[in-house]
Amino acid sequence: MRLLLTLLFASPLLAQSSQGGSELPPEEKLPFQMESTEFPAEVIDEVLVPNPAELFSILDKLGEPDWKSCMRPSSDLVRGGDRTDLALRFGTIIAEGFIAVQAEDPTSVLDLGRDIIELSRDLGLEDAVFPHCQAIIEATEKRNWDRVRQELDLTHRTVQDAMEQIRDEKLAQCVSIGGWLRGTEALTEVIGKNYNMDKAEILNQPELATYFIKKLEAMDSTKALDTIRQGLVEIQALMVQHPADSIPADTVTRIHSICSAMVANITPSANP
């Protein structure tokens, strides 16, 4: 009875919410029954997407991954495409930057810094991004890798904020999706090379995959976005197929190949 009263009381609040809260009651958004209290609850739909450094640092704790081997060979940045293509590509370049920092490869970080500036120019966000790129260059020259990670993280956040300020939240999501795909591609490569279940557990992220799928479903359909959505649906299914602590090696391999195909579409090589 108390729960019913709570839900009845909560309904108008849910309807009035303008903070990205769910239209569904918590009971339909959570995998468990919320404890009934006098405080009505609202589930926020947005999910904080972890940056690649948060995941990579776990693998560092579990061994000594060869990050250098999972860096993409450097090639000229592919220019052009619509803003969705650019946003997806921007996300992958930021993730590539995190990989290059894990590999402590200053040449690649500096090259990627230049790519970030060029892409931000194409997106009309050069002024916002340029100070971060300068900081990345300075920190790289001092081999201050923690600082480079922070600046890459801030670059991502700055671009997302700038896109949201011009009411382009969908584009901001594309940056996150591109980054997550490239980050997951690198993770699965490292895990696959020296597999164990502890490492594979990092891939238990079906909620994030579901979140991205929902965001893509809300966007206008394009061939590129539809392909990514289909890939994410497959990844999500693979992530829930096994318990979190026993994701098998072949699942890791399969997720890797799906991510690789999508990342290759987002960042085709300029020098094939």
Partner 1 sequence: MKTRLLACLSLAFFYWPAAADEEEIRDEAHTLILQSLGEYIEQDFTIPANYRNGEMDTGTRRIVRQQLFKGHVYWLWAATSFPGCEIKLDVLDNKGLDVVIERTEEDRVTGVRVNPTQTGAYYVVITITSETPQSVDWALVYGYR
Q: Which residues bind partner 1 (CB under 8 A)?
A: 10, 13, 19-21, 26, 29-35, 37-44, 46-51, 53-55, 57-58, 61-62, 144, 146-147, 149-150, 153-154, 156-157, 161, 165, 198, 201-202, 204-208, 211, 244-245
Nearest Cα to Cα of residue 88 among 179, 212, 223, 209: 179
* The CA-based dihedral angle spanning residues 94, 96, 98, 104, taken in that order and rounded to the nearest 10 degrees: -140
Smallest separation (angstroms) from partner 1 to the CB of 259: 17
CB 179 within 8 A of CB 155: no
Smallest separation (angstroms) from partner 1 to the CB of 231: 19
Q: Rounded CA gap, 81 and 89, in Å?
A: 10
Smallest separation (angstroms) from partner 1 to the CB of 198: 8
Q: What angle do CA 165, 99, 76 make, to 5 degrees?
A: 80
Q: Which is nearer to partner 1, 9 or 257 (CB)?
A: 9
Q: Which is nearer to partner 1, 23 or 245 (CB)?
A: 245
Smallest separation (angstroms) from partner 1 to the CB of 252: 14
Residue 185 region by backbone torsions, left for phi larger than 0, else alpha for psi between -120 and 50, else beta: alpha
Smallest separation (angstroms) from partner 1 to the CB of 129: 13
Contacts of 128 (CB under 8 A, 6+ apart): 120, 158, 159, 162
Q: Which is nearer to partner 1, 144 or 265 (CB)?
A: 144
Q: Rounded CA gap, 118 and 122, in Å?
A: 6
Q: Which is nearer to partner 1, 13 or 237 (CB)?
A: 13
Q: Which is nearer to partner 1, 26 or 113 (CB)?
A: 26
